[in-house]
């Protein structure tokens, strides 16, 4: 039954794919790097240490420049508000290997092409994703574990399993993980996430959202996405969820930077 439900979910995503046909908006111009003393200090530190790396994975077949989606908006906000000391990037869920290589490049502070044990141990990595992107986030954490690279936090939003994803549990190299999900739609996430080793990974919580009585506007999504994937895209566009996601990420950022983080407010109309 599990294989059948996974296959059914995959077919729904491929059939409904909001995600290919949704209009693509141009990103706002990047903010200039300020000359504030705190930023100068961070810039000096950045020359000798890897940044806090924030990797987001999109669901379905969403393109990484599609600003309709909260995952993309969040990465853009982090880049604009944290010009030094934080590297926030967004990837399609099918580009996991590309994201992995990017992480290795950012951790290689001396740019010698070889990651030392110290460079790995000093890694500060946060991974988040929605739907198949949440599934890819777990796969990425597992791949980093194989290279003995720790992950600070994994954030999963309405995770839908990808065929062949492997062990669905959170690997032991992840310090903390949190799960946001809904059960109202035909396509929905997992109600519970578990850790491979509970002594090493703290499950912050499994938080259910309800969209039977309270709806989130998804007007910019294609009609077939709203028809087939209603609550699944509502949770993706829910400011209650993404404000919490941003708060969890901000708590892991350097203190001088975290105070400047912009909050995502209001639904994307």
| Residue-wise burial string across 8-45, b where 16 or more C-beta atoms lie within 10 A, e elsewhere | ebbebbeebbbbeebeeeeeeeeeeeeeeebbeebeee
Facing residues of 174 across strands?
Answer: 151
Residue 144 belongs to a domain: yes
Residue 27 belongs to a domain: no
Residue 266 belongs to a domain: no
What CA–CA distance (Å, rounded) separates 16 from 30? 33
Residue 127: phi and psi, rounded to 5, are: -125, 135
Angstrom CA distances, 74 to 41, 81, 142, 256, stand at 25, 11, 24, 19
The parent domain of residue 193 ranges over: 2-18+44-257
Angstrom CA distances, 105 to 120, 122, 147, stand at 11, 14, 14
Residue 32 belongs to a domain: no
Residue 106: phi and psi, rounded to 5, are: -70, -30
Nearest to 133, CA basis, from 107, 106, 165, 103: 165
Residue 38 belongs to a domain: no
Residue 66 belongs to a domain: yes
DSSP 3-state of 128: strand
What CA–CA distance (Å, rounded) separates 35 from 153? 30
pLDDT digits 0-9 by tens, 234-255: 999 999 999 999 999 999 987 6
How many distinct structural domains can be found in the chain?
A: 1
Residues of the chain with pLDDT under 50: 1-5, 7-8, 11, 15, 17-34, 256-263, 265-269
Residue 117 belongs to a domain: yes
Residue 265: the pLDDT is 47
- Whole-model pTM? 0.80
**CATH number of the domain where residue 130 is located:** 3.40.50.1820
Nearest to 51, CA basis, from 269, 243, 251, 253: 253
Residue with tokens 């990465």: 75
Q: Which two tokens stand for residue 241?
A: 């969820």
The sign of the torsion formed by the CA atoms of 200, 157, 57, 269 equals: negative
Residue 180 belongs to a domain: yes
The dihedral formed by the CA atoms of 100, 252, 205 and 61, expressed in degrees to the nearest 10: -40
């Amino acid at each position: 039954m599990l294989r059948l439900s996974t296959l059914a979910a995959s077919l729904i995503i491929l059939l409904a794919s909001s995600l290919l046909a949704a209009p693509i908006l141009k990103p706002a111009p990047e903010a200039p790097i300020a000359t504030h003393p705190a930023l100068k200090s961070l810039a000096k530190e950045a020359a000798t240490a890897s940044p806090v790396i924030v990797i987001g994975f999109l669901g379905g077949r969403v393109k990484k420049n599609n600003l309709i989606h909260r995952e993309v908006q969040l990465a853009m906000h982090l880049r604009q508000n944290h010009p030094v000391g934080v590297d926030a990037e967004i990837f399609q869920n099918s580009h996991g290997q590309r994201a992995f290589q990017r992480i290795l490049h950012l951790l290689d502070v001396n740019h010698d092409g070889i990651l030392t044990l110290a460079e790995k141990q000093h890694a500060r990595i946060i991974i988040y994703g929605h739907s198949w992107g949440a599934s890819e986030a777990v796969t990425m954490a597992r791949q980093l574990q194989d290279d003995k690279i720790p992950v600070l936090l994994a954030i999963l939003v309405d995770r839908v399993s990808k065929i062949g994803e492997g062990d669905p549990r959170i690997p032991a190299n992840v310090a903390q993980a949190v799960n946001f999900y809904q059960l109202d739609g035909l396509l929905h996430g997992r109600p519970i996430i578990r850790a491979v080793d509970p002594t090493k990974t703290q499950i912050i919580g499994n938080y259910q959202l309800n969209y039977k009585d309270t709806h989130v506007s998804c007007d910019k999504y294609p009609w077939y996405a709203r028809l087939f994937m209603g609550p699944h895209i509502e949770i993706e566009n829910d400011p209650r969820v993404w404000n919490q996601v941003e708060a969890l990420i901000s708590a892991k950022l350097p203190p001088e930077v975290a105070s400047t983080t912009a909050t995502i407010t209001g639904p994307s109309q």
